[in-house]
Chain A
Amino acid sequence: MKATVRPRVFLVDDHHLFRTGVKSALGDAVEVVGEADEVPAAIELIGERLPDVVLLDVHMPGGGGRAVIDAIKPAHPEVRFLALSVSDAPEDVIAVIRAGARGYVTKTISGPELVDAVERVAGGDAVFSPRLAGFVLDAFASMPPGSELPGPFDPELDNLSPREREVLRLIARGYTYKEIARELTISVKTVETHVSAVLRKLQLSTRHELTRWATERRLI
């Protein structure tokens, strides 16, 4: 779903050069309402300007992107976060998604793809990179269905439906949402619904791999 007005975007990254690069890549497609190069300033300015989407660096001194999400989310649930990172280690990706980011892309993403991701997040949808889709499939597949799980098991949250699996596989294979819709003969809107459902499971499930990935490395 494309937002009809230009999304208001806020940039948080401790590298000036990278912020400049992102701004030029985004071009006129979005309105950059502010930027910050450290966690406290970011928290203050985001609370003030209430952007639609915060483009957030995962690795930053002072708690990283996660500290920003934790500080903003309770008071302003309408602000959405898209995480950007040079690392695509599962620990980093899963931790920031579970903190509340609605998507994750690596910093090598091309300009048009980034604009597309920002608009998608602004519209309330989730953005999965192929690698993130791979992680999710890994986390939700490594336990054979029906096997005993340690702790409480919620079939609603801790399993993917066959359709969600298919969608994730296609994302992992590098398909765009439009191509996935055509391949599965469903609407783009339905693809988005599936991805949002997976995002919710990813954030709420207590599956062992997810909690392990999310806590193993506390560097973000």
Chain B
Amino acid sequence: MIGGIAGGIAARRGRDPTIVRIVLVLLGLLSGFGVVLYIFAWLVLPVEGSAETIGTRALSDRQGITIAIALVPALVLVLLLGSQLHASFVSSWGLPLLVSAAGLLLVYRNAEAEERASLEDSFKALLQLGSDRRHSPRYFLARLGGGLILFVLGVVVISQGGRHTFLRPIAGTVLMIAGTVILLGPWWLRLALGLLHERQARIRAEERADMAARVHDSVLQTLAMIQRSAAEPQEVARLARAQERELRSWLFEGREPGSFGAEGASTLAAGVEQIEREVEEAHGVAVDAVMVGDAPLDDELRALLAAGREATVNAAKWSGASSVSIYVEAEAKRVSMFVRDRGAGFDPESIADDRQGIAESIRGRMQRHGGTAVIRSVPGEGTEVELSVPRHPGRA
């Protein structure tokens, strides 16, 4: 949550970042070496999309290294102090903490401007703990005092102890953690909240950019085309209709624009959608399809779809109606498809038997696959083509 290390490791190893974080925090609490590990990782792991790590830059940062080395005497001092007090934990904590401080310094001096700013922010927040306007200085002093007393008490309990030997480390550690929480808790909380807000804002911004790109690619392009073809109402209707369909499938069905009804449909429903879209685009007539049930495509169903497409194209071309309805129902034993328009209609008797469209593409095709085709039409009222094939479930 600070340098993005946990998230990075998690992404690399395919683990949940929360688990990585918990492991790191536990390591940090146990020995302090978790912190060292974190800072070290920060130095050597590259930021996503960049080859250079902070570490390689830090190697050429002489001044930074000098300052880091200058911390060594402090380290020695802490270790001596620890052994004097017979408090081994002081050295076990002091060593990693000082190494971390040195590492953090190098990170800060060599990080990208953005990362540096966020580090500065967090330390500023730490310094501002005392000057928080919402609370009186007395509150701050009380917390500082309380935290320090608890912390020192913890140190004393561990190093001097009482008779209950086995309780000492536990009680001492609890007191020290309590002291740390009182001292630094609000700072950490503010830091975490700030990061959370920032992350949410970034996600929102990305979503907006993504949305804008999609809207530009589809809607704005279509609007431009509509303006250009304003003189042809048929074309305008066709464009608007196709755009509406695409936008709707994106917004409400979650399908990517452009992926709608990809070539080579594998199910009945996908095939019907394809007919719907293609006839609309080619003939500028609205096609409304209603599906009940679905089935994987086999030869019979492909024949049904091919005949259904022919019927839909006929309706779009000849009926003069502005819309065509398709209804497809997949039942256990058979699949039926109805193509209906409210257009001019015709007298079925007057159509010669050898007319290729109906005779071959619709009737012949259905009969060859064991299906039926019925055409009902009344002049002035419209036409309905009913197609039906038996289903062979279990047979591919």
Give residues in A with beta carbon < 8 Å to B: 86-89, 92, 108, 130-131, 133-134, 137-138, 141-142, 144, 169, 172-174
- A174 cross-chain contacts in B, Cβ below 8 A: 288, 325, 327, 340, 342
**Can you report 18 residue pairs joining A to B where beta carbons are below 8 Å apart?**
A87-B251, A87-B252, A89-B253, A108-B286, A130-B290, A130-B325, A131-B290, A133-B290, A134-B290, A134-B292, A134-B327, A141-B292, A144-B332, A173-B290, A173-B327, A173-B338, A174-B327, A174-B340
Q: In the complex, A177 Cα to B252 Cα: how many Å? A: 29
- B253 cross-chain contacts in A, Cβ below 8 A: 89
- B325 cross-chain contacts in A, Cβ below 8 A: 130, 173-174
User: Which B residue's beta carbon lies closest to that of A91?
Assistant: B252
User: Which A residue's beta carbon lies closest to that of B322?
Assistant: A110
User: Could you tell me if A137 and B329 are in contact, using CB atoms closer than 8 angstroms?
Assistant: yes
Q: Which of B252, B288, B292 has the most CB of A within 10 A?
A: B292
Contact count A vs B, C-beta below 8 Å: 48
Asked if B216 is at the interface of the complex by the 8 Å CB criterion, the answer is: no
Q: In the complex, A101 Cα to B291 Cα: how many Å? A: 23
Of the residues B248, B251, B252, B340, contact of A173 by C-beta under 8 Å: B340
- Cβ of B332 to closest chain A Cβ, rounded Å: 8
User: Could you tell me if B327 and A92 are in contact, using CB atoms closer than 8 angstroms?
Assistant: no
- Cβ of B76 to closest chain A Cβ, rounded Å: 63
User: Which B residue's beta carbon lies closest to that of A131?
Assistant: B290
Contact A142 B329, CB 8 Å, known A87-B252, A92-B252: no
- B331 cross-chain contacts in A, Cβ below 8 A: 141
Asked if B384 is at the interface of the complex by the 8 Å CB criterion, the answer is: yes
User: Could you tell me if B292 and A137 are in contact, using CB atoms closer than 8 angstroms?
Assistant: yes
Contact A173 B288, CB 8 Å, known A86-B248, A134-B327, A142-B293: no
A interface footprint on B311-344 (CB within 8 Å = 1, 0 otherwise):
0000000000000010101011000001010100
- Cβ of B339 to closest chain A Cβ, rounded Å: 9
A interface footprint on B273-294 (CB within 8 Å = 1, 0 otherwise):
0000000000000101011110
Q: In the complex, A172 Cα to B384 Cα: how many Å? A: 13
Q: In the complex, A86 Cα to B251 Cα: how many Å? A: 10
- A88 cross-chain contacts in B, Cβ below 8 A: 252
Q: In the complex, A133 Cα to B288 Cα: how many Å? A: 13
Q: In the complex, A174 Cα to B340 Cα: how many Å? A: 7
- A138 cross-chain contacts in B, Cβ below 8 A: 291-293
Q: In the complex, A137 Cα to B330 Cα: how many Å? A: 11
Q: In the complex, A60 Cα to B283 Cα: how many Å? A: 34
User: Which B residue's beta carbon lies closest to that of A179?
Assistant: B381
Q: In the complex, A110 Cα to B291 Cα: how many Å? A: 22
User: Which B residues between 21 and 78 are near A, CB-CB below 8 angstroms?
Assistant: none
- B251 cross-chain contacts in A, Cβ below 8 A: 87
- Cβ of A27 to closest chain B Cβ, rounded Å: 20
Would you list the 4 A-B pairs with minimal beta carbon distance, nearest first? Answer: A174-B325, A134-B290, A173-B327, A87-B252
Q: In the complex, A172 Cα to B251 Cα: how many Å? A: 24
User: Could you tell me if A172 and B252 are in contact, using CB atoms closer than 8 angstroms?
Assistant: no
User: Which B residues between 372 and 390 are near A, CB-CB below 8 angstroms?
Assistant: 384
User: Could you tell me if B291 and A134 are in contact, using CB atoms closer than 8 angstroms?
Assistant: yes
User: Could you tell me if B293 and A173 are in contact, using CB atoms closer than 8 angstroms?
Assistant: no
- Cβ of B311 to closest chain A Cβ, rounded Å: 13
- Cβ of A58 to closest chain B Cβ, rounded Å: 11
- Cβ of A101 to closest chain B Cβ, rounded Å: 18
- Cβ of B255 to closest chain A Cβ, rounded Å: 12
- A108 cross-chain contacts in B, Cβ below 8 A: 244, 286
User: Which B residue's beta carbon lies closest to that of A217?
Assistant: B252
Q: In the complex, A172 Cα to B340 Cα: how many Å? A: 11
- B288 cross-chain contacts in A, Cβ below 8 A: 130-131, 174
Q: In the complex, A174 Cα to B323 Cα: how many Å? A: 11
User: Which A residue's beta carbon lies closest to that of B292?
Assistant: A137
- B290 cross-chain contacts in A, Cβ below 8 A: 130-131, 133-134, 172-173
- Cβ of A160 to closest chain B Cβ, rounded Å: 12
Contact A130 B327, CB 8 Å, known A87-B248, A89-B252: yes
Q: In the complex, A42 Cα to B325 Cα: how many Å? A: 35
User: Could you tell me if B252 and A169 are in contact, using CB atoms closer than 8 angstroms?
Assistant: no
Q: In the complex, A173 Cα to B374 Cα: how many Å? A: 15
- Cβ of A135 to closest chain B Cβ, rounded Å: 9
- Cβ of A93 to closest chain B Cβ, rounded Å: 11
User: Which B residue's beta carbon lies closest to that of A92?
Assistant: B252
A interface footprint on B226-257 (CB within 8 Å = 1, 0 otherwise):
00000000000000000010001001110000
